[in-house]
Amino acid sequence: MNRWAQRAAAFATALLAAAGVACVGLRLPQEAAHKAAFAAAGFILPSGDAADFFSEEEQEEEGGSSSPASSAPPAASGAPASSSPSSGGASSVAASSAAPSSQPAAGQKALEMCIDSGGKKIEGFWVKNLTEKNAAIDFAQELKKQPAVKIRKNAGPQVLIYHTHTTEAYAENPTARTTDKTQSVCAVGDEIAKQLTAAGIGVLHDTTYHDYPAYNGSYDRSRATMQKDLKKYPGIQVTLDIHRDAMHRSDGMKLKPTALVNGKKAAQVMIISGCDDKGALGYPNWEYNLRLALRLQKAMTAYQNLGRPLDFCARKYNQDMTRGSLLVEVGTDVNTLAEAKYAGELFGRALAGVLNGLT
């Protein structure tokens, strides 16, 4: 009898422990849950170690609830908000996975690496799936499906490039924020626009400030800009929200994702394609954005390691506005502006190739 009593007690203890873990898990804040999903997705560094770092955009809340350490960038010699419409497979060597960066931001230590894997490999590229209900989605099948994008030449802007965080800058700027659009992500947007224009694809690059002078509410303001631009140019098929990421390890070390393309350093690029995982975001037809994202991710393989793994997550990021909307992270705050602009050029070439196949 004592033996059975001991077994019963042990069983009851195990049940209570499991219930406690479940209760704690249910009370996890969204950010912690997202980090847990990030780790569970198997995001692995080239060295084989589990990734112990987090992305600025992945931790950010939409709809004006974000609260970064610095709520607004310092004033600089930036131009007024503006919109300027215009019409119009290289070999590479992987960058070192763990070479110290020669240009850390404002004395901050930085680790240069090439993030060349993580998640699931699909036709030569990687996708990390951070969703729950769409955890079993077949990316290979989605890649075969046609995006809902049809490019028309000589018919006005077909692509809108904008920046929710317009003042995001690079290693040359001590605060990684500036209102000088020649030094911010706006300069990267210009490089992408140049490649599209050269390919005969009409572009509207809207450099309206959305995170200055106030940072909170950036996504609400960029949504209003999108609505204005889409109303003025209803032929727009693709919208690209171009950002600069910030990545750090738990010990504070900043990370510099870099690829070497044709002997020249380029900041690595990450495409974020969201979904309405639980039907609560008001984001129908997200599959069409994903199909475009997958084609673009595959096209970037022409420039070895230019693309970090595609980030498929349960977020919206204003991607419900069209069936060709994506968010794109170009480098981090410890990449140089030159590296980011070169990445923009390469990304623009890959994008032009994809869109010219969707006419």
Give the pLDDT confidence of 102-132 residue by residue, as tens digits: 344 445 579 999 999 999 999 999 999 999 9
Do 27 and 63 share a structural domain? no
What are 270's strand-pairing partners?
Answer: 329
Rounded average pLDDT over 299-311: 97
Do 166 and 121 share a structural domain? yes
CATH number at residue 60: 3.40.630.40
Do 291 and 204 share a structural domain? yes
Residue 22 has pLDDT above 50, yes or no: no
Is 75 a member of any domain? yes
- The amino acid that residue 331 corresponds to is G
Is 50 a member of any domain? no
pTM score of the predicted model: 0.78
Mean pLDDT is lowest, of 52-56, 69-73, 156-160, for: 69-73
What pLDDT digit, counting tens, does each position of 228-255 carry? 999 999 999 999 999 999 999 888 899 9
pLDDT at 101: 34
Do 112 and 17 share a structural domain? no
Do 130 and 16 share a structural domain? no
pLDDT at 329: 98
Is 38 a member of any domain? no
Distance CA(204)–CA(184), nearest Å, equals 17
What pLDDT digit, counting tens, does each position of 160-171 carry? 999 999 999 999
Q: In 3D, which of 97, 112, 121 has the Cα closest to residue 48? A: 97
Q: Label residue 53 by pLDDT band (50, 70, 90).
A: low
Find the domain containing 241 and state its range: 56-355
Distances (CA, A) of 306 to 100, 258, 261, 285, 358: 19, 8, 8, 28, 23
Distances (CA, A) of 128 to 119, 204, 289: 4, 30, 16
Q: Label residue 282 by pLDDT band (50, 70, 90).
A: confident
Looking at the structure of the chain, the number of domains it has is 2
Do 241 and 187 share a structural domain? yes
Is 77 a member of any domain? yes
Is 49 a member of any domain? no
Do 147 and 18 share a structural domain? no
pLDDT at 78: 43
Do 123 and 184 share a structural domain? yes
Residue 94 has pLDDT above 90, yes or no: no
Residues 74-89: b if buried by 16+ CB within 10 A, e if exposed: eebebeeeebebebee
